[in-house]
Structure 1
């Protein structure tokens, strides 16, 4: 048995072109609402995935620390701070999550 997800099988069966299969689908993540908070905390110097997972769980996150770790990997690899595009537009912007620090 190939152990393929039925959704994957349906996607391949329903595709009319190869390009349709190669095009990345825009999928949301459980982490999406917390990314601005994670970026801010990364910029503040908190770079531990376990600690950050603990913090966003208090804000309602139900995913794993592995998901947070995968989000942080490119930041670690680049050696740069996380850049939040909203911070450039407004110095008073807040992520809007309960209990998050504001700038």
Structure 2
């Protein structure tokens, strides 16, 4: 990229020199080449093509304290607030958020290094799905580590987990006003499975919205229907209508 930009600048410089040799004024040359007049004057004053000077990168206020924070992390310290207070006493005048961002990077690097691919391969699809749809607050430490490994193993898994959890939160908290934004995020993702689910939601959006906003549902009716189907199957080929009727009335 830098070489391409340099080649473009060099071509413009050579054109400027040629136009100047033809007697064109600097302002006209600048207009033709799409650069400032000051740039043309600087080029014409130089005997050779002037390379762009590299800008010196000024270190941020946190950078000089980063080695200290890293050493504390490697020593086992995980309290971000304590480390922030330590470097503040040493003269750090930046924000606490910068320190936490740096610590989050260290944490992600540490977790990535500990990803056990063989352990992930032992998970069945159903077990992995159950891990994704569980409330994060109910997971124990081992389950949280397994979930983090899944999310780090593949960016699409991480994206899918985030979208699934957002939908489940809508269901649990009855936040139907987030539905349209969620459907838009799914549409913009590259997750075909979730997009198929979202397409079904779109077709019956009003019913889904009612389910996400109302406290009543047809759950009890569906439960009775399931019970009736079970009783019918149990007596299939072994009993007549009269016995079936008595069993249904007794169950209800």
Output the TM-score relative to the length of structure 2.
0.21
Relative to its length, the structure with more helix (as a share) is 2
TM-score by length of 1: 0.49
Q: Which has the larger radius of gyration?
A: 2
Structure number with higher relative contact order (C-alpha < 8 Å, ≥ 6 residues apart): 1
